[in-house]
Structure 1
Amino acid sequence: MAKKNALPFDSRRGSITNSRYLLESEAYIGLTAQAKTLMTLMQLHWRNDKPVDYGIREAQAKIPCCNKTASKCFYELERNGFIRCIEQSIFSTRIKSKSRTWQLLWMPYKGNPPENDWDTINANKNAIIKKAAKHREKLASN
């Protein structure tokens, strides 16, 4: 029996979806194009049971951009609550090097629902901006 509401996604390699709420949010819209691309590239590696291994060199090659821009993208996503560093990178010529591991905060992790820190951070920023605007209006009227 066929599924009643099955969508005709391309099933060759799977599909990646994001919530409309995330994509229409000010937090997401305010990201640079490179950071948005990095989010999608990291989501390609996402699994519910483990963090995402993704480094600056890989981002630099796939976005494509310089290493400074790739580093800024990771910082931008972390600062805005989209990712969290789980484990730092290890670079060694004697032992195997390892890239940083990340938790994608808009995706479930280890059976828990998404933390969506990006939404909380954005709400706090908006509250601060509104408070500052009211303060400026008050000063202007005096």
Structure 2
Amino acid sequence: MSKKKSLPFDKRGGSIVVNRLMMTSPAYKELKPQAKVLMLLMQEQWRNDKPVSYGVREAAEKISCDVKTARKAFVMLQEQGFITCVGESLFNSRTGSKARDWRLTWMPYMDKSPTNNWEKSSNEKLNQRRDISLNKLT
């Protein structure tokens, strides 16, 4: 059996792929740049068998922004349906702190297919815009 050859784009330790359908969705287009960067950072930590553990302070440090801006990025990703919280954060001075656990809805999780909640959010927004434009015509 021959050795599997790695592709040229994968020589430095992996790649992150973003779905084109997701990138062109209204939900993705409404995201602020910090939220888009946070998505990539969270996808970098993603594993199929466990949730992504990511905190606001860690995000603020990696994005190079204020903690409030990082918090808003998390809220925006939740509201648009890109992430869901599966485990709350915990602060304990004796045992240490624990960041929130997140599920990335565009990625598989625990051997289940993606939920793609962002698509539902996009469809709702399109319907709202359609209703507004129809109301303007009448």
Q: TM-score band (shorter)? A: over 0.9
Q: What is the CA–CA distance in structure 2 between the aligned matches of 1:100 and 1:78, rounded to whole Å?
A: 13
Q: What is the CA–CA distance in structure 1 between the aligned matches of 2:46 and 2:11, rounded to whole Å?
A: 17
Amino acid of the structure 1 residue aligned with 2:94: R
- Would the aligned equivalents of 2:85 and 2:100 in 1 still touch at CA under 8 Å? yes
Partner of residue 48, structure 2: 48
Percent of aligned pairs sharing the same letter: 46
Amino acid of the structure 1 residue aligned with 2:118: W
TM-score when scaled to structure 2? 0.92
Q: What is the CA–CA distance in structure 2 between the aligned matches of 1:113 and 1:18, rounded to whole Å?
A: 16
For the aligned residues, what is the CA RMSD? 1.7
- Would the aligned equivalents of 2:26 and 2:125 in 1 still touch at CA under 8 Å? no
Deviation >4 Å, runs of 4+: none
Spell out, residue by residue over 1:13-45, the C-alpha distance to the aligned partner (whole angstroms, 9 max, x if none): 111111111112221121100000000000010
Q: Indicate the SS of the match to 2:95.
A: coil
Spell out, residue by residue over 1:104-136, the C-alpha distance to the aligned partner (whole angstroms, 9 max, x if none): 001111111111100111101110111122122
Q: What is the CA–CA distance in structure 1 between the aligned matches of 2:41 and 2:115, rounded to whole Å?
A: 20
Q: Cα distance, 1:11 vs. partner?
A: 2.6
Partner of residue 27, structure 1: 27
Name which one, 1 or 2, has greater alpha-carbon Rg.
Answer: 1
Q: Cα distance, 1:7 vs. partner?
A: 4.2
Unaligned runs of 5+ in 2: none
Q: What is the CA–CA distance in structure 1 between the aligned matches of 2:64 and 2:36, rounded to whole Å?
A: 13
Partner of residue 77, structure 1: 77
Partner of residue 39, structure 1: 39
Partner of residue 111, structure 1: 111
Q: Indicate the SS of the match to 1:69.
A: helix
Spell out, residue by residue over 1:75-114, the C-alpha distance to the aligned partner (whole angstroms, 9 max, x if none): 0000000000001100121222100000000111111111
Specify which structure has the bigger relative contact order, considering alpha-carbon pairs within 8 angstroms and separated by 6 or more residues: 2
Amino acid of the structure 2 residue aligned with 1:125: K
Q: Cα distance, 1:10 vs. partner?
A: 2.8
Q: For structure 1, which segment, 8-17 or 43-52, has the greater mean C-alpha deviation from structure 2 after superposition?
A: 8-17
Amino acid of the structure 2 residue aligned with 1:29: K
TM-score when scaled to structure 1? 0.90
